[in-house]
Amino acid sequence: MKEVVILGAGYAGLRALHVLQGAKGDFHITLIDKNDYHYEATDLHEVAAGTQPRDRISYPIMDVVKTNKTTFVQKEVATIDRDQQVITFKDQTTSTYDYLIVALGFESESFGIPGVEEHALEMVDVDSAEAIYHHLLKQMQDYKQTKNPDLLKIVVCGAGFTGIELLGSLVENRKTFAKAAGVKPEEIKLYCVEAVTRLLPMFEEKLSDYGISNLVKWGVNFLTGKPIKEIKPGVVIYQTDVESGATEALSAKTIIWTTGVSGSHVMADSAFSARRGRVMVNQTLTDPEHDHVYVVGDVSAVLDPATNRPYPTTAQIALKMGQHAAKNILRQMNGEQPIDFHFESLGSVASIGNTHAFGLVGKMAVKGYPASFVKKAIMDRSLYQTGGVKEVLAKGRFDFYH
Ligand SMILES: Cc1cc2nc3c(=O)[nH]c(=O)nc-3n(C[C@H](O)[C@H](O)[C@H](O)COP(=O)(O)OP(=O)(O)OC[C@H]3O[C@@H](n4cnc5c(N)ncnc54)[C@H](O)[C@@H]3O)c2cc1C
């Protein structure tokens, strides 16, 4: 009996599991994750801002495991030896495979900027997102005692998709922070420091302006064209002039790092040929050196023939890749050749709070409340693709009443 191992129960891993569990054949599946729950990474900003509790964006992995076909193992992967076909875990135990799907997802990327890892908060999984919310509440409670204005300041580093969505949720929950601090909501100061001036280049200017100008209207202070040079305890140092190298300092007791992500460190630790933790895979989604090893989701880079650049890492493409890798493994086990991956983006929509959003559906621009409706439908769709009807009914977003 062939052994198919899936590493990571995120979007890509669970989608692959769904396809494999639904197929007939003489094979067994082992699903491995360091947690015993799946979380919707696209909603992490809401846990960080406290607009959703962690249970709302996660569910037990065993909910989707068919035990007659699959064994779930909760372990942390340390390395993968592709020549020996052996996975080594952090606890030094090992597992073997015939076919492997690597779907270990993303990590925070510091770009080598000093102080980021030590002094900024990262938002990469449910624990780190929840830690941000607890940190925020603690700063607010401390303000009541000390009246230190830095405790009311929140700096989001990076105005990419993640940073913008986080700012939207922070604005939305400002009342909670203000109440904890005993101040007015407008006294909670929100900043965003960003290196470039043209924000969210994936959207046409009119659309990104809509999102940014709303956040500005709601009180977010954008410092754009200001590359961050260092994070010190409670201080962001950013450059104000490229030629002279002049810098300024912004002090705040909450500094959240959302400038970018890389793929899991396991890729580099396992000698995959990876750039920022992403492996440039074949069009079939296999590792160029091992045709029984599929690399999918945020640890993978697939060339978009239209632009000759890798597709951006998104949940949408991770789901498609997981599905495709599983189908290709079924083909290989059947003695057929794997087929190439094709991807057509359905568009993307960024939320700014619960009732506002903006983005593209296909090629159509959407904004405001209708866009927020679409965003919830997109999230319910991906929840359905990993967790099925049961999880959509339990965790789906149906509050279409605003
Ligand atoms: C705030 C935010 C908003 C986003 N919004 C959108 C959006 O609107 N639309 C969109 O398409 N994308 C969005 N994204 C991007 C999207 O979340 C990622 O592209 C997606 O999560 C990648 O899916 P994945 O399956 O590759 O990995 P992940 O979802 O990261 O899952 C990886 C899994 O691997 C497990 N794992 C990791 N390391 C180990 C290890 N060493 N051993 C064992 N298990 C391990 C993790 O526990 C996790 O279950 C957003 C991301 C963030 C952070």
- Rounded to the nearest 5°, which phi and psi values hold at 87? -105, 135
**pLDDT > 60? residue 92:** yes
Q: Give the pLDDT confidence score for residue 384 in this predicted structure.
A: 92
AA identity, residue 257:
W
Distance (angstroms) between ligand 1 centre and the Cα of 313 equals: 9
- Other beta carbons less than 10 A from residue 223's beta carbon: 17
Atom of ligand 1 nearest to the CA of 15: 25
Distance (angstroms) between ligand 1 centre and the Cα of 187 equals: 34
Which residue ranges have their beta carbon within 6 Å of ligand 1? 8-13, 32-35, 41-42, 44-45, 76-77, 103-106, 161-162, 165, 264, 266, 297-298, 313-316, 318, 348
Write down the domain spans for the chain: 2-34+75-108+262-345, 116-259
Which range has highest mean pLDDT (34-38, 376-380, 396-400)?
34-38
Characterize 256-294 residue by residue with b for buried, 16 or more Cβ atoms within 10 angstroms of its Cβ, and e for exposed.
bbbbebbbbebbbebebebeebbbbbbebbbbeeeebbb
Q: Give the pLDDT confidence score for residue 306 in this predicted structure.
A: 86
**pLDDT > 70? residue 368:** yes
* pLDDT tens digits along 209-261: 999 999 999 999 999 999 999 999 999 999 999 899 999 999 999 999 999 99
Q: Ligand 1: which of 281, 314, 317 to mutate, judged by most atoms within 8 Å of the beta carbon?
A: 314
Q: What is the CATH architecture of 2-34+75-108+262-345?
A: 3-Layer(bba) Sandwich (3.50)
* pLDDT tens digits along 298-314: 999 999 988 889 999 99
> DSSP letters along 271-295, please?
T--EETTEEE--TTSEETTEEEEEE
Atom of ligand 1 nearest to the CA of 350: 8
- The mean per-residue pLDDT over the stretch 47-57 comes to 96
Among protein residues, the one whose CA lies closest to atom 31 of ligand 1: 10
* pLDDT tens digits along 185-199: 999 999 999 999 999
Contact 79, 88 (CB under 8 A): yes
**pLDDT > 60? residue 400:** no
In angstroms, the CA 62 to CA 224 distance is: 44
Among protein residues, the one whose CA lies closest to atom 35 of ligand 1: 8
Q: Give the pLDDT confidence score for residue 167 in this predicted structure.
A: 98
In angstroms, the CA 294 to CA 114 distance is: 34
Q: Ligand 1: which of 59, 89, 102, 161 to mutate, judged by most atoms within 8 Å of the beta carbon?
A: 161
Distance (angstroms) between ligand 1 centre and the Cα of 27 equals: 27
**pLDDT > 70? residue 96:** yes
Residue with tokens 């050749």: 337
Q: Give the pLDDT confidence score for residue 399 in this predicted structure.
A: 63
Active site amino acids: 165
> 32-36, 282-286, 394-398: which range is least confident on average?
394-398
- The mean per-residue pLDDT over the stretch 84-109 comes to 98
Confidence of residue 401 (pLDDT cuts 50, 70, 90): low
Among protein residues, the one whose CA lies closest to atom 30 of ligand 1: 105
Atom of ligand 1 nearest to the CA of 300: 26
Distance (angstroms) between ligand 1 centre and the Cα of 265 equals: 14
Among protein residues, the one whose CA lies closest to atom 7 of ligand 1: 42
- The mean per-residue pLDDT over the stretch 78-93 comes to 98
Contact 357, 349 (CB under 8 A): yes
Q: Give the pLDDT confidence score for residue 247 in this predicted structure.
A: 97
**pLDDT > 90? residue 358:** yes
Q: Give the pLDDT confidence score for residue 395 in this predicted structure.
A: 87
Q: 2-34+75-108+262-345 and 116-259: same fold? A: yes
Distance (angstroms) between ligand 1 centre and the Cα of 279 equals: 16
**What is the dotted CATH code of the domain comprising 116-259?**
3.50.50.60
